[in-house]
Structure 1
Amino acid sequence: MLRTADWPLRRGLVIAEVAVLGGLNGEQVVRWLVQHEPPTAGEAVYFVVGVVAGGLALARRRLPERTAALAASAIALSLVFSMVGFFAEPDATLNGDPEAIAVILLVGASCHRVPPRGAGGLALLGGVAVVAAPGLRYGIDFTTLAVAVLWALLWGCGVAVGLMLRDGDVRREAALSAARNRERLALARELHDLVAHHITGVVVRTQAAGVVLAGSPEQELIQEIEHAGAEALAAVRRLVMMLRSPDQLALVTTGGLVETVEAAVDGDEAVTVELASGLAELAVAPETVSTVHRVVLESLTNVRKHAPEARRVSVTVASAAEGQSLRIEVHNDGLRPGRARRSPGGYGLVGMRERIVALGGTLTAGEHGERGWRVLADLPLPGGAAADRPPERGMTR
């Protein structure tokens, strides 16, 4: 299914479908008016069938969850009137047959959206309906056979396009899932560094307490606490080492918030860094510092990759909501008009969002101003919640 960001493409496809279906039906009406001959009963019936089938084909865009029912209705309508035409032999002449186009569109949509078994059945019945209709309705001759071959080819194209769209959706979902899983594994690998820091502090304090309480009745209890802490630290290390790949380095940033932002910018003179006063003294959890590093680094990577012509790139970090949250904003002016809507996008921001949501924060990314693109992240600080949670927008670039 097309994403909201691809609305111009979707609108173009809708206009094309309306033009084709409306043009084929309108051609018959114009022909009747020009020839000053009223349609025969058979031609009138097939015209109505074509209009109804076209309406069902267009309705699938408004009701994608009803694609199977719409396709089944159009196919059944086509088959029924083909059989009526075979037995009644109506006085009709071969025409553009918009009904066949509508059935082919619905077959393609079924191959895209309907579960495999249902899609296979609808595709088969739809192929029978469009290929058999010319011969059953108008008799078998060279012209109707040629038309049947044409419909068969178009039916094959409809099935192929539907399957390609289905494959594209599957691949995209798999890529999104892989991006989320990679970020979760990265967070799991960071768990060792974060937990080890705190457990080591507990063990050191326990050892100090053992020295102070040497010879007292509490010394045995202190030693048990020390031993339990050491075992917990070893267990965490063993578990996380199984998740760690040889070519992957630890992602935790051990410096302060200001040093972390400066390290992510890496002295790039094209980037303007604006840090609010008091950030160095701000109480920020280690996982938040690591996430700030990831947000700035990923955002600047996207700027270099997707907007190399940007003349101004800024990174702003400040506390928000009266110190309840930390706000990171990366903005550039290298967006061409309409570029964000056409870009298929990557998955870096998907993983970034997974990390931020896990901390209780929010992330938005999208157009900002006439030529601007902005990544805005809000991370809660100790005792606070993410500030001013904005509505989620398209996150790919």
Structure 2
Amino acid sequence: MKQRNFLAARIDQWSREHPRLLDLIMAGSMWLVFGLSSALAGLPAFLVATAAILPLAVRRRFPATVLAWSAAAFAVQLVVVPIPLPADIAQAIVVYTVAAHVASVPIRLLALGAALTGSVLAGFRWSTPPAYEANVFKNAVFLGILFVLVWVIGNLVRGRQANMSALRAASARLEEGRLQHERFVAQRQRVAAAREIHDIVAHCLTVVIVQADGAEYAAEHARPWERGDAGTVFATIGRTARSALAEVRGVIEVLRDADGPDEAHGARLGIAELRQLVDSVRATGLAVEVEAEPSVFDDVPPAIRFTVLRVVREALTNVLKHAGPHATAHVVVARTPGGIMVRAEDDGVGSRRADATASPPGYGLDGMRERLRAMGGVLEAGPRSGRGFVVDATIPVAALSPATP
């Protein structure tokens, strides 16, 4: 039984893939069976049967034309052949074809009307005495019911095909939407990775440049050159470079993680990592003061912890790059009724630095704004009154709280 079902499925698939070839085979087979058997009623019957059956080979390509030809052939049959023929089954197939494959409602109704008219005329032509009127009625009703059923089945098939086409189109749209979503997610991951790598590299290279510039100045001007000072400088450079390499590798690895870099690293971040970040900046010679309660990260989602540290790091990187020599920085991380507030300010020359050696503008502030926007936060940055630059960031903790649906 399973083998039969498998064979039937293969036949059905083949027929759907080769509809024209199937029509040709069907027309040829019907002509061999019904056309040749109609020859028993004489040559006119054979010619009429052939004219009715052979056009079925193109019934799906030209259904309206085949309908008109079939109606003409049946009219000729009623005139020259006084009896029904086995080939008359072709008329029912034509009605079914029009109902199943023609979208125009008027043409489908025309096919039904022609079939019912033919049923009445056939009832008069093929009925015999003594109960002539009763036979006419019975034959017309029987043929009419038969053609109505065939027409209804054809319309049901057409409706099913239309539904299947709509489902296939909807499935294609859903698949395209899924692919677009995947491309969008991949693009977001690439943008997030690029932003993380930018932040990491910008911060660490700034530290390395400051240390290298200090070492170069000391080597040229300081007397005598202290080995211990040199060792400290190179140790800071090496530690910073190794940290940058490890973080870049981590960003690349977490691209395979559905939770993303924030979730991957944020759960392990806290006040200790904040102080470690500040210490690495202090090693460059920048004086940094930090105000942060030990419990500032308690009950804070990992993504927000990660964002807070990134904002602090980018702000201190900007101080190293733009504040000028002898600047000091002050960082505040505090809880507010609605979330976490981060403030990083310095007393350097800030954005008003105009000498020729000033660093070109980067993408740090834009990156922070994008990151905070994703968290529902706000970033404000600009020069302080007097001297220096200030960065204010607020992040609503409730926006990403685990309790939020």
With normalisation by structure 1, the TM-score equals 0.43
Higher normalized contact order (CA 8 Å, seq sep 6+, divided by chain length): 1
Say which one has the larger Rg: 2
With normalisation by structure 2, the TM-score equals 0.43
